[in-house]
Amino acid sequence: MSDIAEFVQSGAAKVAPKTLEELMRELPLWKSEFAQIHTPRFPHLVRQLEFLADLVEDVYDGAYKELPYAALAAAVFALLYAKQEADLIPDWTGEMGRADDSSVVRAVLILHEKALMRYAEWRRIPWNRISTKP
Q: Is 134 a member of any domain? A: no
User: In this predicted structure, what is the pLDDT of residue 87?
Assistant: 57
User: In this predicted structure, what is the pLDDT of residue 2?
Assistant: 82
More confident residue, 114 or 33: 114
Q: Is 62 a member of any domain? A: yes
H/E/C letters for each residue in 53-83?
HHHHHHHHCCCCCCCCHHHHHHHHHHHHHHH
User: In this predicted structure, what is the pLDDT of residue 43?
Assistant: 85
> What total number of domains does the chain contain?
1
pLDDT tens readout for residues 2-60: 898 998 999 999 999 999 999 999 999 999 988 888 888 888 999 999 999 999 999 99
CA distance 46 to 52: 10
- When pLDDT is averaged across residues 61-88 and rounded to a whole number, the result is 89
Angle among Cα 128, 129, 133 to the nearest 5 degrees reads 70
Q: C-alpha distances in angstroms, 31 versus 5, 40, 60, 64, 106?
A: 24, 19, 15, 19, 18
Confidence grade of residue 123 (pLDDT, cut at 50, 70, 90) = very high
Q: Is 133 a member of any domain? A: no
Give residue 88's domain range.
3-128
Q: Is 60 a member of any domain? A: yes
CA distance 21 to 65: 17
Q: Tell me if 74 sits within 8 A of 114, measured CB to CB.
A: no
User: In this predicted structure, what is the pLDDT of residue 92?
Assistant: 46
